[in-house]
Amino acid sequence: MHIANYSRRTKAVFLLAFVFFASAIIRLLYIQFFRASYLDEIAAKQHNYFLELEPRRGTIYDRNLKPQAVNLPCDSVFAAPLEMKEGDKEKAVSQLAAVLKLDAGSLRKKLSKKKSFVWIARKVSQGQADDLRMRNIKGIGFVKESKRCYPNSYLASQIIGFAGLDNVGLEGLELYYNRHLKGSPGRAMVLRDAHSTKLDIYGNTEPPQDGSDVVLTIDEMIQYIAERELDKAFRSSRSRGGSIVVMDPKTGQILAMASRPSFDSNMYRGVSKDQMRNRSVCDMFEPGSVFKIVTAAAVLEEGKLREQDRIFCENGEWHIGRRTLHDHTAHGSLTFQEVIENSSNIGTCKAAMTLGPATLYKYVKLFGFGSKSGIAIPGEVSGMVRNLSQWSGSSMTAVPMGQEVGVTALQLASALSAIANGGTLMQPYITMEIRDRSGKIEKSYAPVPVHTVISSQTAARVRKILVGVVENGTGKLAKSKDFTAGGKTGTAQKIENGTYSHSKFMASFIGFAPAEDPQVVIAVVLDEPRGGYYGGVISAPVFKNVAGDVLKYLKNRQDIPAGENEITSAY
């Protein structure tokens, strides 16, 4: 009996041992064949980690390769709370708060986290980084990054926009071309020892792909001239806002574009949407008398009137249907040319009636109104031109003089360019090229004719009338002894609570120069100027000053030998 019990216990022990070793072998085989890669990965993470390598964001240049947006190297500050004792943390809080001007409470909260990495401050100044390095604060380290910088601060800020903390475009061309500018990050494997100390040994490096550069049609000097003069008028007239567009009428290239109020692209935090808005493409307004260029061109192209045909302007007051039209100055009989020169509302509407609604509507659309231009700027609006079926009985006494339509400053510049260049509507564009870092052109942009609006003969006749506006009519303050010019004034009542205001106006002037061979078209719009509010008084002098300096600058550039024609920034 005793021997039998001993035999059973021995077998049980051997069985248990067998089961244990069999289980161990099965477990080992399972780990070897099914869990090996997972465990290798855990081990690798203990000794290796991947560091993202930041790409260089592409530079934005003006047409003369003057940088408008660049990336500069900088330092970001981090902490390793797990490596810091309480005394180290308190010392770090006091010194970090002093150097970086940060709240001590928020710093303590960050350092109390049980983490091996927390950001303290991103992209600090060089002085702050140097100060912190000298203090040698335990648990505080630095990461090399790059910071977007705008060397001309306010200049062209609404065009260029800005990129955020992570070098991602947020506004303007920085946003529009972000996929070209941002590049692709790389990565490198960094080795560390059992104490998680970085050994500065790199492997499996994938270099970052730098972003492409963008070259604009904007000319830094012309941009400066335009902004300088717009700013003077904006401040002196105490306007609510303002915009200016300088355009090459032959190609559609935008040489300058600006809005007021403005902002510094380097300091975009806290800036209002009103300051960021590119009014030249985002703001729609009733144009008033500058729109009479459409009526004049249509009437001449259709052969309904000649320049010397006379129109009775009702001595300044005309009752038609339920509406009464007024002229700012009473006129009797005027030639059609004098109607445009003196900006007679009555004469213009009588001339338009020889066309009829369908023909007038056709030319409004041909000149590009009611449609987006397709320019590479975020936020462009199409303006407003109602379908012909929606015109009322009074539309033919409103549309010809710039009421019941909504336009942008860019559309006005484009429409006048069609007259200045001989009758072709050109697509406005603001980008010349996209280049890789080596300078190789990835994409280039060329002038694009949209369609013919009027014949070259009609365009020449309209130009002559618009020269008369400057020489003899409402645009005399645009006249210069240094160059010839043509243009049209506009003073439009703003709509307030469903009716036309008698105290809020849009003052505008659109013009080209020199008259014999237009090199530039300029559109100037001031929103709610105080005091004087006529476009011929407020906006025409801005055109005169900008055109004068731009033409001198362009002439000087032509006189400089090829290869030496780079300009010196005015900033």
- In angstroms, the CA 296 to CA 291 distance is 9
Strand-pair category, 213-216 with 60-61: parallel
Which residues are CB-neighbours of 159 under 8 A, at least 6 positions away?
172, 173, 216, 218, 257, 258, 278, 377, 430
- Main-chain phi, psi angles of 455, to 5 degrees: -70, 160
- CA nearest neighbour of 359 among 399, 329, 319, 326: 399
Question: Given 289, 373, 395, 508, which residue is catalytic?
Answer: 289
CA–CA gap between residue 129 and residue 122 (Å, rounded): 11
With vertex at residue 365, the alpha carbon angle to CA 363 and CA 368, rounded to the nearest 5 degrees, is: 110
Cα separation, 336 vs 109, whole angstroms: 77
Give the Cβ contact number of residue 463 at 10 Å: 19
φ/ψ of 346, rounded to 5, equals -65, -50
Closest CA to 245 of 539, 523, 545: 523
Q: Nearest to residue 307, comparing CAs of 451, 458, 96, 88?
A: 458
DSSP 316: G
Q: How far is CA 241 from the centre of its chain?
A: 17
Cα distances from 48 to residues 3, 186, 189, 454, in angstroms, run: 61, 16, 6, 70
Q: Where are the alpha helices (DSSP H) in 76-167?
A: 86-100, 104-111, 126-135, 157-160
Spell out the SS3 assignment of 114-129: CCCCEEEEEEECHHHH
What's the per-residue H, E or C state across 397-440?
HCHHHCCCEEECHHHHHHHHHHHHCCCEEECCECEEEEECCCCC
289 catalytic? Reply is: yes
Query: How far, in Å, are 76, 88, 190 from residue 141 at the CA level?
Result: 8, 14, 16
- Candidates 560, 520, 552; CA nearest to 217 is 520
As a whole number of angstroms, the distance between CA 246 and CA 42 comes to 62
Annotated catalytic sites, by residue?
Answer: 289
